[in-house]
Amino acid sequence: MSKKSVKTKTTKRTANSAAWKAVSRLLCNLNEKEMLALFQELYHLSSNNAELIEARFKLQGNGDLLSDYRKKILYEFDDYHIQHKDGENHPKMSYCKKLIRDYKKGTGDLAGTLELMTTFQEAGAKFTMDYGDMDDRFYDSLMSGMDEIVKILIGEGKFLFPAYQGRLHKLLQLIYQQCGYGYCDWIQDAVLEIFNVFGLGIKCVGERKNDKYRTEYTLEIFEK
């Protein structure tokens, strides 16, 4: 007879909870050796803890750390990895977004965070073009992630736009008029919103059939 799994109810901890306030008072009384032992235990307890601690203290240096996080995102979209995952045949979008959040929170590196966000968009777009339509969660993750890119590039990260203009153009070029679920329209509106801030626009100037019987569109950037 198989045993039924028992799900335990978890309560979300917040910085304002009574439990945390009690714990924080105790933490203040720990000496250096005790605090180090606690961090060591947390570090080895889970990979999520290890990644957050590494990011917070920049143990690998921002360049190496950024490369490591980028590889983890791309790995989620890797063909071999996808085909050999237990019970799933699509990328873990929530995990990719968590990597981006952890990097941002741990390093405060705006340029690196934007690199991870853009990598996520590029990998997601290529994946759906290669394998066809995905589910709502897949596209919702990409669309909400694109909103974050818009906020950065029309806000505090305006200075980064020249480095990403070409990549955003290629992203839109890849999926233009190709996907459902409102995904293509969402990405198009987001890219146009960014480009408009910099006095640029994008227009369709041609189309052709490719080997996959899709219609590919040629998009050009123009100055307004």
The pLDDT value recorded for residue 202 is 93
- The pLDDT, as a whole number, for residue 27 is 75
- At 62 the pLDDT is 55
Residue 27: CB atoms within 10 Å:
12
pLDDT block averages, 10 residues each, the chain of length 224? 39 63 77 74 76 61 80 87 61 94 91 96 94 88 97 96 95 87 92 96 81 77 90
Residue type, 26: L
pLDDT of residue 40: 78
pLDDT confidence of residue 10 = 44
Q: Concatenated DSSP letters for 29-47?
A: T--HHHHHHHHHHHHHH-H
